[in-house]
Chains A and B, each alone.
Chain A
């Protein structure tokens, strides 16, 4: 911030993160404070730069597949789906209907797990510790199901170019149904303790308000858009897999503030459960889970490029991929929701907010730093 006669010697500069419990991962926000009020904000990343995009260029397609899920820790599956779909688009592989249903199931389970993790972070940012303990417990039950299905709890490496890697274990869909029944009984409790909580409402309503007019033009995605009352969702607008065969709503909320984004997420939990129930009902019993693909050292993609999008739990997630006719990928560029939300939006949204609201606003935008620096 520029020093003026009014604020001379009164501005304090602090770093909010990366070692701060209220930051959403390995990043920091450099804040200029006048008392408790923020007058300037700059985002810094680079604390977790692992160079995945460069590593991918040195590996064969299947070797590259093993690292893409690590791009975003809370939500690895949209990365796997984007990677697999981009390769399939370029190589001209069509996957079976059964594999598509299984992928939708995995993506919706990942969405639920991610929303549960978000609930823990969002409630923790205003001191409601109990909610986080409950929601992380519920997320763990989803991770149990993931472990049974894929062998991994956090990173699954399950959505593979050509389909999915394993058949559903016997009785898995029944156990998933039992979990969904359980989760539905938990939702009224979450409403009482968190979404309808007077403390949360008082803290969140009217805070971190996103300008509706610039939301579309500036490329905001996910709950940031839907919290402004703008109905946009890749699953509906640019459908992939079997989402066009499923019946679900795109929840929106007016206000554009932290509370609106939280309420959109609350409805999304409900919609995800609805989608999963339909998937369980419609899951084909017959069909290949995996198409025949070349051996990994002979798996080549033609010289061409493509763009694929998936709706992650935080918004639109894009992969640009270019092949050069060899068994290696020429370029894979990842663009998650956090790049624009963490810089263009957050730096402006924090101006004139209180210091105590920084963590709450960051959580509500769903910023995941690992996907910014890849």
Chain B
């Protein structure tokens, strides 16, 4: 079945059972509709997203699986990072609801037509969506949390290692000199 799709779309063979195609954003609903209704890639198994901040895009991969579950097709679209909006796939695949909800929370992508884009794993989150590259976990932790009491004398690991090595070296040199 993948052969007939290859006649229509440009599909890359990533391995014997994994294929990938990249399509423009405006064609994605039409394409997914066509593939799921006219080929054996009938199931949506995952929507993955990677943040390519240097290219200012999110690469979304809609991963479709055959009814035999023996082949996977990654349909990639690249969307703008800011004010990104996409139509929901809820009518095609009911499982898209929770996947879109997850991506909405983690990347801030708006899925038009999905009624459940409320809190998923986070609660009352008002910061930058956390899986965007510009969200700095370390800065967030330093701003919002305090170190547990009793750790005031915590030393910088790198500096302490360096100091101990220098001390050991000094001691060794001294011992050798004494010999």
A contact set with B: CB distance below 8 Å: 45-46, 49, 51, 53-55, 57-58, 89, 216-219, 232, 234, 237-238, 305-307, 309, 316, 318, 320, 322, 324, 330-331, 333, 335, 339-340, 343-344, 372-373
Q: Shortest beta-carbon distance, A354 to chain B, in Å? A: 24
Residue positions of B touching A, CB distance < 8 A: 14-15, 17-18, 20, 42-46, 48-52, 59, 61, 63, 65, 67-72, 74, 93-95, 97-99, 102, 119-123, 130-131, 133, 135, 137-138
Q: What's the nearest-Cβ distance from chain A to residue B143, in Å?
A: 16
For the complex, what is the distance from the CA of A330 to the CA of B63, rounded to whole Å?
A: 18
- A237-B70, A238-B69 known; A339 vs B99 contact (CB < 8 Å): yes
Given contacts A218-B94, A373-B121, contact A58 B137 (CB under 8 A): yes
Given the interface contacts A55-B137, A217-B43, A219-B93, does A343 sit within 8 Å of B65 by beta carbon?
no
Contacts of A333 in B (CB 8 A): 46, 48-49
Give CA–CA (A335, B135) in the complex, Å: 22
Are B69 and A331 within 8 A (Cβ)? no
In the complex the two chains form, what is the Cα distance from A316 to B59 in whole Å? 24
Q: Are B94 and A344 in contact (CB under 8 A)?
A: yes
Beyond contacts A57-B133, A219-B45: 17 other A-B pairs, Cβ-Cβ < 8 A, are A49-B121, A54-B131, A216-B43, A217-B93, A218-B93, A234-B69, A238-B69, A238-B72, A306-B14, A309-B72, A316-B45, A322-B50, A333-B49, A335-B45, A339-B102, A343-B97, A344-B97
Closest to B46 in A: A335
Tell me if B123 and A46 are in contact (CB < 8 A): yes
Contact A219 B120, beta carbon cutoff 8 Å: no
With a cutoff of 8 Å between Cβ atoms, the chain A residues found around residue B133 in the complex are 57
Q: Which residue of B lies closest to A333 (CB)?
A: B48
Residues of B close to A237: CB separation below 8 A = 68-70
Identity of the chain A residue whose Cβ is nearest the Cβ of B123 in the assembled complex: A46
A232 contacts across to B, CB distance below 8 A: 68-69
Given A232-B69, A307-B72, A335-B46: A344 touches B95 (CB 8 Å cut-off): yes
